[in-house]
Structure 1
Amino acid sequence: METLAINGGEKAVKKPFPNRFAMDAKEKNAVMRLFDEAIAAGTNIGYNGPEEEALCKEFAEKMGGGYADGVNGGTNSVYVALRAINPEPFSEVIVGAVTDPGGMMPILMCCCIPVVADVTPGTYNVSPEEIEKLITPLTAAIIIAHIAGEPADIRKIMAVADKHNIPVIEDCAQSHFARVDGQPVGTFGRFGAFSTMYGKHFNTGGQGGIVFTKSEEDYYKVRGVADRGKPFGLPAGSTNWIAAVNCNLDELGASIGREQLKKVESFGAARRAAAEKLGKLLPPSVELPKLVDGAESVVWFLRLTFNGEGMSCTKDEFANACIAEGLPINPAYRGALPSLMTWFVERRAFGTKGFPWTSPEYKGGNNRDFDIPNAKAVMDICFNLYLNESWTDEDIRQAADAFNKVDRAFRK
């Protein structure tokens, strides 16, 4: 029997896995062109200019038609979308249990109350049935995240939302151009909110985001909310119509994003192909994700499920042994459970007195805890593999070899 690397044996992974190489001279040239033009003209590089206008038009076309506005972060894309809905303070917004904290915090920034819905068992994505259980007269919106590149059960979620006439924001930060029945995520709800920070499928530099909608009226609301309430789409002479902050994307980021947008679908296809090839080589203890009907993942990371039947280890022991063999793995996605974090548990949003939860104007339960057994349980069976579009067949083979080595060592 081979000795595991975690026990002092030789690593199964001999060659480092490749970086993404998602950027090349095209992005560099796009940025340098803006500098050259600015230097020649004696001007500065700004925002709300031709690069952002072109990026937003190209993005909306790739989404199948509609309107888009660039913003300066994925968290702010959710915030801007929610502000455009303009929920009354102290209303409730339902959000999935598994999400980045930045997908939940905008609810508090709107002085609303996050209500946490559990996930579908065995997945990271929110359950339509759990959403419906939480709907009350206080519910103003639903935010659903498509986690890990895997589309949520969006058709069922939309059926629930439409039944109760509640707007939906799709948080697509991890799932650029994932699809259900050929339709991109972000086009089912009232808004699609996208992060374009440096690690996402396509990026606009260090940070960025895009808000998408099919409604021209909502588009102008988004534009205003993202730019201090400016009166976009309103009659001449109108003044700023709502108090808001500056969430603008700049021209440099937009120029990078335009080049990245040309590549994004090839990135998703390459990741999907690598995951499928790897799946055919995995041992019985490691299973690929099961997607909702008609879904096409873009694999922001590959969620893998540990099948402990016949094994003498826990999921965490298995995952940590794989890490020691050289696999790029997160053994547990517990950092994506914001309702268990200090800021949420101790109600830290504004000041020290628990506002807005503790406000007498909030008619819900200000000490309410949310039971999320499915979300907690999935952390005990799933772990994340960070593959990317640059993986070759050799990379896939050595990853499979590492998984199989660990499987053999722990198999009873």
Structure 2
Amino acid sequence: MKFPPRKALGSNEIKSINQVIRYYKKKGIDPGYQGYFEHSLCKKFSLMMGGGYTDACSSGTAAAYIAISALNLKKGSEVLISPVTDSGPLNALILLGLKPRLIDSYPNSYNVSLKQFLNRVTKKTKAALIMHIGGETSQIYEICKEAKKRKIKVIEDCSQAPFARSIWNKKYSLCNKKFVGAFGDISFFSTMYSKTISSSGSSGLVFTKNKKLYRNVLSHADRGKQIWRKNINLKDPSKALHPALNLNSNEFSSAITLASLNRVKKTIKGRIKFLENLNNDLKSSKTCSVVYKNFKLFSPFFISIHIKTHLLKIGKINFVNNIKKEGVPLLNSYGCIISDWKWARKYMQDKFITKNAINFKNNSFNLFLNENYGKQESRAIVAKIIKVEKKFLK
């Protein structure tokens, strides 16, 4: 069976490219950056996040670098970081001269709970970089509440979970209307071609509800410029506040991202429906299941399928590779666990190993998905899993 491609560069995205061309041809100037389409994107995103300030930039890694820079942390400051991430955010911490200190995930997950956060907080901790992995969320409300007591700044990485909700305790009714990215001091989002909100290339967003932080974001995204000021020559480098790079986005990326943003609710809804079908179909499997069930809160990017490896007469990687040979789109072992990166160890604050995250990796695989998957795809995937399962059950 051929699984349906996503086709994120759809008709509306193509129309948006043509809109940029027509707009700037009519004005008689070339498209630059910080223009009409970027402002439209940032305004719409801020509105959907419940109010605040947004800046578009050149990549998700750039967004991470800008968000961390905007906090103006002193070099050598200790920053807690989730156990699972792309290398970009960790590299940003290292290049800014900060000291990363790992937090483990909670069992059978790649995300962080309040307990795991508190286990790693020290008196030296100045900030925490909390990721929301796979579309599920960390326990961000509770983490932010405790961080504020300790004057710890919180940066959220929402690249894999835009518009997900974090409701770990039913009494926190405010979380019903609040999306991840709006809990911490500042947050960032990757909108690269594979992400839920797609720029069909490389781009990112930085979001905050704090106007002062927003101005820091603007200056760190564009060579230290005071972008918010209208009474100075922004092309004069002598007016810059500090050293910074040009990490701006552009009008074409912004227009495409806006088109993707306009249909993100439909995108997420389609993915959630697929997960509900998959979870139901997986009940017929003896070895594979989805650990977390509250899909209504998700913004699915991938789904981790847990395996009862003790029931198999072969190893996990061999088992998953056999499923992959059946044509199921998956990743047999997640490589984004910092503890596994030998090169990164010398930059860590200590030698802490994230055992829960590693254990989950060793007993699961990541199933790829998109909004075009439906009941047919769910049944096909589970049928292939069960076919391989029957062959290798003890």
TM-score between both structures, scaled by the size of structure 1: 0.87
Q: 1:151 aligns with which of 137, 144, 147?
A: 137
Equivalent residue letter for 1:273: K
Which residue is equivalent to 2:305? Answer: 304
Alignment of 1:154-193 (within 5 A): 154-180=140-166, 181-182=175-176, 183-193=178-188
Secondary structure of 2:212 counterpart: helix
Which residue is equivalent to 1:361? Answer: none
Distance 2:41 2:136 in 1: 25
Stretch deviating more after TM superposition (386-395 or 168-177): 386-395
Question: What is the RMSD computed on CA atoms of the aligned residues?
Answer: 2.0
Distance 1:43 1:233 in 2: 23
Equivalent residue letter for 1:64: G
Equivalent residue letter for 1:392: G
Q: Deviations over 1:54-111 (max 9, x none)?
A: 1000001111111111011111111111111010001111101111111211111211
Which residue is equivalent to 2:266? Answer: 266
The structure carrying a bigger helix percent of its residues is 2
Which residue is equivalent to 2:57? Answer: 71
Distance 1:294 1:65 in 2: 25
Equivalent residue letter for 1:133: N
Which residue is equivalent to 1:386? Answer: 368
- Contact (CA 8 Å) 2:276, 2:295: kept in 1 or not? no
Which residue is equivalent to 1:287? Answer: 289
1:399 equivalent to 2:394? Answer no
Q: Deviations over 1:381-403 (max 9, x none)?
A: 11100011111322121111111
Q: Percent identity?
A: 32
Alignment of 1:6-405 (within 5 A): 15-180=1-166, 181-182=175-176, 183-233=178-228, 236-237=231-232, 239-282=239-282, 283-290=285-292, 296-308=297-309, 310-333=311-334, 335-347=335-347, 368-405=350-387
Equivalent residue letter for 2:297: E
Structure 2: which 5+ residue stretches go unaligned?
167-174, 234-238
Distance 1:39 1:219 in 2: 31
Distance 1:127 1:184 in 2: 17
Distance 2:309 2:318 in 1: 11
Q: Deviations over 1:354-387 (max 9, x none)?
A: xxx8xxxxxxx6xx32222112211111110001
Equivalent residue letter for 1:214: K
- Contact (CA 8 Å) 1:73, 1:209: kept in 2 or not? yes
Q: Deviations over 1:121-169 (max 9, x none)?
A: 1100123223223323332210010000111111221132122111101
Structure 1: which 5+ residue stretches go unaligned?
1-14, 348-356, 358-364
Deviation at 1:234, TM superposition (A): 5.3
Distance 1:232 1:137 in 2: 36
**Count, aligned residues:** 378
Equivalent residue letter for 1:175: A
Deviation at 1:338, TM superposition (A): 2.8
Secondary structure of 1:186 counterpart: coil
Equivalent residue letter for 1:53: H
Deviation at 1:174, TM superposition (A): 0.5
Equivalent residue letter for 1:134: R
Deviation at 1:309, TM superposition (A): 5.0
Q: Deviations over 1:235-267 (max 9, x none)?
A: 845921121111111111111011110111111
Distance 1:310 1:101 in 2: 34
Stretch deviating more after TM superposition (159-168 or 69-78): 159-168
Secondary structure of 1:260 counterpart: helix
Equivalent residue letter for 2:162: H
- Contact (CA 8 Å) 1:71, 1:209: kept in 2 or not? yes
